[in-house]
Amino acid sequence: MAEATLEKASARPPLVALTEDEQLFRDNVRQFAEERVRPLVKEMDDKGVFDHGLINDFFQLGLMGIEVPEEFGGAGGSFFEAVIAVEELSRVDASAGVVVDVQNTLVNNALLRWGNAEQKRRYLPRMTAEWVGAYALSEAGSGSDAFALQTRAELRGSEYILNGRKLWITNAREAGLFVLLATIDPSAGYRGITAFLVEKDSPGFTVGKKEDKLGIRASSTCELILEDCRVPRENVLGEAGKGYKIAIETLNEGRIGIGAQMAGVARGAFEYAVKYAKERKQFGKPISDFQGIQFQLAQMATEIEAARMMVYNAARMKDAGLDFVKEAAMTKLFCSQVAERVTSLAVEIYGGYGFTRDYPVEKYWRDSKIGKIYEGTSNMQLQTIAKMILGK
């Protein structure tokens, strides 16, 4: 079959070589994505609801605790394996990819790096077995200006009382635990920012409406409402006033995950475009025989390969304990650009069919757009890269 041949070609070992165990892991995730996720993609996108059974499957397969040590019920794997999972799931459905991405690269990573022994004991087993995680930083007035937070946290005895609203929170509808950023002292600027572990059933905590989005429609993106929300003092993650460091460093890791998501989106659209180009006939022959189409496909393939190499390189650097901030920013910037270009070209290769919802490529294009926006806009990535190469 043309599709099988295409998949074989697109799955060849990358330059950043995978070990045998990593290849086996990748193949297992890919098989799961094809057999379990793909049949549900259109329905989830149409309804804007993520299938709860899939989330249960994610837990059963160990995809919700890839880096979590085995003593807490996790897989004891690497960050590299986490981004492989995100890429392979996103190749089929970007919404599936982002559920696993936020869980691993943001929430679990924050707990692993800054949680104390008791927090890890209390939460990590649940994060690997039953609880989805969400990361709550953005507000109406703080997007790229991430630390212009208005959500307040006031210490009263043994509890912090939180008041405010969060916007654009991924996984909010499904989540049982939120890593939530608030300020304990607005006059202190970023030095007042504090990270809290907020459980969904905390008094005064409400998940608001789900946004009706252009892309990743099955992924829940909701408002959070905190009205005298009571959070135990021991649920401060790290130290009070040090939340800015947690936010910055966690997002650096998360950007590699978004790069993996966008690489997967680009791959998925590209594979459909190649298959269609071989089948669609005009002027008596497949459109893949025309040089114009061949050159477009060649350019798409080259950019996807480059995007994947950037993702894998940044992930390897993270696992090796190297400084990867610049590489993470470059990865997210470039992969989101590639995803948008490749998916747009895929729509054009399909022609009029590509513009309809009866064919899959328009969804890939819609899903690609978020890559330039969340977890730091493209302009913010450019700013980070420029500062680092100029030493400012």
Q: Please give the Cα distance from 124 to 18 (Å, whole number).
A: 28
Helix (H, G, I), strand (E, B) or coil at 174: coil
Furthest CA-CA distance within the chain: 79
CA-to-CA distance for 356 and 177, rounded, in angstroms? 38
Strands 236-237 and 221-232 turn out to be unpaired
Evaluate whether 131 touches 65 at the Cβ level (below 8 Å).
no
**Tokens 């190469």 belong to residue:** 389
**Amino acid in the structure at residue 375:** E
Task: Out of 87, 223, 340, 375, pick the active-site residue.
Answer: 375
CB count, 10 Å around CB of 52? 9
Is 118 marked active-site?
no
The tokens for 13 are 């070992």
Residue type for position 327: E
Q: What is the DSSP letter of 200?
A: T
Backbone angles phi, psi at 230, to 5 degrees: -95, 120
Bridge partners, residue 229, by sequence: 162
204-231 burial string, b = 16+ CB within 10 Å, else e?
Answer: ebebeebbebebbbbbbbbbbbbeebbb
Whole-angstrom Cα distance, residue 340 to residue 378? Answer: 12
Q: How far is CA 186 from CA 63, 141, 239, 243, in A?
A: 38, 14, 16, 13
Q: Which residue has the tokens 């599709």?
A: 3
Tokens 């679990």, located at residue: 108
- CA separation for the pair 146, 208 (Å, rounded): 21
- The one-letter code for the residue type at 32 is F
> Looking at residue 216, what DSSP letter applies?
S
Which residues form the catalytic set? 375
